[in-house]
């Protein structure tokens, strides 16, 4: 066994006392079997107990309940995951009724607006961490419907790291700061995370998403949302369809550069929260369309992946997304704690017409969410906190408990009863009562995963092969960064084995950066398999995807037809040309952009006969906060900016991060003083020079394109 290290206080104790103290407070698992908290040896810690390998998770699984319960109660009072978030109120409106699919009222009434509250969040970091961490983003929507609350608790990525809820505590323990030193914060670039991932090939698909630009969104307003799991829609006839939920942002899906994200984290860790708040405050209400992918129950097994596997998505080429409604966020919270912090989402909050499937990750979440709210929000009455209350009356026989607010009247708190005329009474399905979908169950109790879950690489390949060249390079760079922070060579080696099964060229580029050889024979590690299982029966199938690429998986195919809400920096100083400022400002604001003037100092500047107020200076601001940069003409203006190192750095940084830059008239001289030069400068559509009026439309088009990522190939900018 490993030698124990004594604290200074323990070292002063007599020998017999030292041993006693260590044994009382330390647990060394080296060489020991796994047990429950009551000492029973565990045969399988990787799979929950189910009614058949694709069946529902059983409540009697005391090993799962103990593991999840302990995990849910590890942190108080902030959330264990999704601790750092921002929220907003809004409304959902339906485009068309879908009675053939569901009897849910809010999906069949185009006349009413359904109130919503949305919370966006990072996953791994604490409340005090940064918005710009490389991380999954939570995207949770609470619909306050006329039939009760429906919570669509999702992420900005459509798949997840694991297939079974039994593995969730392990995943989060691995990605959280390492327990011996509590580092790093809000980051996955460390040994424990990649140690876990390298031995869980089911995570391969999600790793591609997490290493992509999707993990560093430009704003909450410009990211997609997904329900992740496969749910059911049930119509009035009791007919079932499988469904995947999507949120499609009307501003398109955009990201920042990784270097830019790291700078923003230092300069404004509240970047995403501030962006959301200011957009709503300014009346630029964020909008998403709700989309659904629908699969008839008869087609459940027609795909080469399992619909119940949360590490898989349904390619939109196979099942198109139907857009059925729009969500608009139009009001900021009045009190962050009372609303954003106390809102309690629950994947189990469904309404008649929406039901669950036997997705083993979903099944575990159904237990975990209630358990988490009990400890985090003080007890069983968390639903009585105003932000969590449904807009319809609540009547049942639950009573009392910590923080009870409802004053129930009458004698009856039981049913059936005669003292209260048997109220509250049960409701027939025909009258809106909830009824679970009838599903035949005829299976053995078993801890196992369906063989249909063991294709771990085909969709990881699909995602990587769907990326544009710049996006693919960003994934490679992210893996280089992350694995470059891993200190244990064996973990790097295992991870290279996993990457080689996704794309050998990608893996080779990562290996070369790490100074390592790519394994010639990839290891096939899968610790989801029971120790006593037959390995040949459970080998992952490393097959090619049915389709080579999917346009929906690349952000290069997102909306690029407007510049609404984009923030444009105008670099100005005394003597700037007022016509140059005015012409560009008028055109950009008409197109929906926001303009901020940035000068060497705060206060104001004189341009011609006009006075311009300056609220941001080169000291207080940075190019990373803006989508594009404009420098107006003016002799004195250019002379002043030329002598400001911060102004030249501002331009260098914007160029390095591939943003649109427009230099009017003599502002072109700044190029020679900065480092905006190179073989591609003349053909860079996002780098404009000339007369202000002549380049307005080209500048708007360049901003709408978001970034000129092609600039990364040849740039050499010390910013």
Instruction: Name the residues annotated as catalytic.
Output: 82, 155
* Pairing of β 616-617 and β 594-599: parallel
Which residues have CB under 8 Å from 176's CB, separation 6+? 124
Give all strands of the β-sheet with 660-664 in edge-to-edge order.
616-617, 594-599, 567-571, 628-631, 660-664, 687-690
How many whole angstroms separate alpha carbon 28 and alpha carbon 354?
46
Residue 608: how many CB atoms within 10 A of its CB? 13
Ranges of beta strands (E only) in 7-113 are 49-51, 85-94
342: which 2 tokens? 């106390």
Handedness of CA 209, 658, 571, 576 (dihedral sign): negative
Q: From the centroid of its chain, how far is CA 342?
A: 20
Contact 693, 718 (CB under 8 A): no
What is the distance between the alpha carbons of residues 610 and 74, in angstroms, rounded to a whole number?
A: 60
Contact by Cβ (8 Å): 325, 290: yes
Do 47 and 34 contact (CB within 8 A), yes or no?
Answer: no
Q: CA geometry: angle at 210 spanning 495 and 469, to 5°?
A: 90
Buried b / exposed e along 134-152 (16+ C-beta atoms within 10 A): bbbbbbbbbbbbebbbbbb
Mapped onto helix, strand or coil, the DSSP state of residue 27 is: coil
Q: Is 698 exposed, middle or buried (0-12, 13-18, 19+ CB in 10 A)?
A: middle
Cβ pair 171, 123 in contact under 8 A: no
Residue reference for tokens 């922070």: 485
Task: Determine which helix (DSSP H) or strand (DSSP E) holds 328, and give its type and residue range.
Answer: strand 322-331
Question: How many secondary structure helices (H) and strands (E) does the chain include?
Answer: 18, 20
* 3 state SS for 624-676: HHCCEEEECCCHHHHHHHHCCHHHHHHHHHHHHCCCEEEEEHHHHHHHHHCCC
User: What are 443's two structure tokens?
Assistant: 């299976």
* Tokens, residue 484: 């470059």
Residue 557 CA, distance from chain mean position? 20
**Tokens of residue 98, six digits:** 């879908």
Rounded CA separation 86/139 (Å):
10
- Give the H or E element holding residue 689: strand 687-690
Residue in the structure block whose two tokens are 């803006």: 626
Q: Is the backbone of residue 340 left (phi > 0), alpha (psi -120 to 50) or beta?
A: alpha
Instruction: For residue 706, give the DSSP letter.
Output: -
Which candidate, 668, 716, 717, 677, places its Cα nearest to that of 695?
668
- Reduce the DSSP state of residue 162 to 3 states and report it: coil
Bridge partners of 88, per DSSP, are 118
């Amino acid at each position: 066994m490993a030698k124990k290290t004594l604290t200074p206080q323990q070292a002063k104790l007599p020998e017999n006392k030292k041993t006693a103290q260590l044994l009382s407070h330390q647990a060394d698992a080296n060489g020991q079997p796994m047990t429950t908290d009551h000492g029973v040896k565990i045969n399988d810690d990787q799979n929950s107990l189910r009614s058949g390998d694709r069946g529902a998770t059983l409540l009697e699984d005391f090993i799962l309940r103990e593991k999840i319960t302990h995990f849910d109660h590890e942190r108080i009072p902030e959330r264990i995951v999704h601790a750092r978030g921002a929220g907003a109120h809004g409304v959902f409106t339906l485009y068309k009724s879908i009675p053939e699919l569901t009897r849910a009222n809010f999906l069949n009434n185009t006349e009413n607006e359904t109130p919503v509250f949305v919370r966006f969040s990072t996953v791994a970091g604490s409340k005090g961490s940064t918005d710009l961490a490389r991380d999954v983003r939570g995207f949770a929507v609470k619909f306050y419907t006329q039939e009760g609350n429906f919570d669509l608790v999702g992420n900005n990525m459509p798949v997840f790291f694991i297939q079974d809820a039994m593995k969730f505590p392990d995943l989060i323990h691995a990605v959280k700061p390492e327990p011996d030193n509590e580092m790093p914060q809000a980051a996955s670039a460390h040994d424990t995370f990649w140690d876990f991932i390298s031995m869980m090939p089911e995570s391969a698909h999600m790793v591609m998403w997490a290493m992509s630009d999707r993990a560093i969104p430009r704003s909450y307003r410009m990211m997609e949302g997904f329900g992740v799991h496969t749910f059911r829609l049930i119509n009035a006839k009791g007919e079932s369809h499988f469904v995947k939920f999507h949120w499609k942002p009307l501003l398109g899906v955009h990201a920042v550069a990784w270097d830019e994200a790291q700078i923003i984290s230092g300069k404004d860790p509240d970047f995403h929260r501030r962006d959301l708040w200011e957009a709503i405050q300014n009346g630029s209400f964020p909008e998403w369309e709700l989309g659904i992918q629908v699969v008839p129950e008869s087609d459940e097994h027609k795909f080469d992946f399992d619909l119940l596997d949360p590490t898989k998505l349904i390619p939109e080429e196979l099942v198109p997304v139907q857009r059925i409604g729009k969500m608009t966020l139009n009001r900021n919270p009045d009190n962050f704690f009372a609303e954003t912090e106390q809102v309690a989402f629950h994947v189990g909050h469904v309404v008649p017409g929406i039901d669950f499937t036997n997705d083993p990750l979903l099944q575990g979440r159904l237990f975990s969410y209630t358990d988490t709210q009990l400890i985090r929000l003080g007890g069983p009455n968390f639903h009585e906190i105003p932000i969590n209350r449904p807009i319809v009356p609540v009547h049942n026989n639950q009573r009392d408990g910590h923080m009870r607010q409802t004053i129930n009247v009458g004698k009856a708190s039981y049913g059936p009863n005669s003292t209260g005329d048997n109220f509250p009474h049960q409701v027939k399905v025909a009258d809106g009562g909830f009824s679970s979908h009838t599903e035949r169950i005829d299976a053995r109790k078993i801890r196992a995963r369906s063989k249909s879950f063991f294709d771990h690489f085909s969709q990881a390949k699909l995602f990587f092969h769907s990326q544009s060249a710049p996006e693919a390079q960003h994934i490679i760079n992210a893996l280089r960064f992350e694995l470059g922070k891993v200190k244990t060579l064996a973990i790097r080696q295992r991870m290279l084995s996993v990457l080689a099964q996704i794309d050998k060229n990608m893996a080779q580029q990562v290996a070369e950066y790490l100074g390592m050889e790519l394994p010639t024979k990839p290891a096939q590690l899968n610790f989801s398999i029971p120790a006593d299982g037959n390995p040949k029966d459970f080998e992952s199938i490393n097959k090619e995807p049915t389709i080579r690429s999917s346009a929906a998986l690349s952000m290069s195919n997102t909306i690029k037809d407007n510049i609404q809400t984009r923030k444009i920096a105008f670099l100005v100083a005394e003597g700037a040309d007022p016509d140059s400022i005015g012409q560009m400002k008028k055109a950009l604001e008409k197109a929906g952009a926001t303009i901020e003037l940035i000068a060497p100092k705060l206060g104001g500047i004189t341009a011609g006969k006009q006075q311009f107020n300056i609220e941001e200076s080169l000291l207080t601001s940075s190019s990373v906060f803006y989508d594009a940069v404009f420098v107006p003409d003016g002799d004195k203006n250019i002379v002043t900016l030329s002598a400001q190192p911060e102004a030249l750095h501002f331009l260098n940084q914007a160029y390095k991060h591939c943003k649109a830059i427009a230099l009017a008239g003599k502002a072109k001289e700044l190029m020679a003083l900065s480092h905006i030069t190179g073989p591609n400068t003349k053909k860079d559509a996002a780098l404009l020079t000339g007369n202000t009026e002549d380049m307005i439309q080209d500048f708007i088009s360049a901003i709408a394109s978001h970034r000129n990522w092609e600039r990364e190939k040849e740039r050499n900018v010390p910013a």
